[in-house]
C-alpha cells in the first residue's frame, strides 16, 4: 500500500506461481517509482 496524499492510496497485488517468481515480482515492485508525479506521468 502506497499513500499519495490525504485519502489517496495505491495498492499492488502480486500473484506469483512460486517462491522464485514472488521474489522477482517483489524486486520489481520495490523498484517502481510511485511518487504522485511519476504515476501521473505513467512511469
pLDDT tens digit sequence for 6-42 = 887 878 888 999 999 999 998 988 888 767 777 777 7
Output the pLDDT for position 29.
82
- Domain residue spans of the chain: 2-40
What is the pLDDT confidence band of residue 43, given thresholds at 50, 70 and 90? low
Q: What angle do CA 5, 34, 23 make, to 5 degrees?
A: 130
Confidence (pLDDT) at 23: 94
Closest CA to 40 of 7, 1, 5: 5
Instruction: State the Cα–Cα distance between residues 27 and 34, nearest whole angstrom.
Output: 14
Cell (9 digits) for 2:
502506497
Amino acid at each position: 500500500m502506497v499513500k499519495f496524499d490525504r485519502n489517496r492510496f495505491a495498492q499492488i497485488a502480486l500473484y506469483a506461481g512460486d517462491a522464485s517468481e514472488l521474489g522477482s515480482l517483489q524486486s520489481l515492485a520495490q523498484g517502481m517509482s510511485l511518487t504522485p508525479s511519476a504515476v501521473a506521468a505513467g512511469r
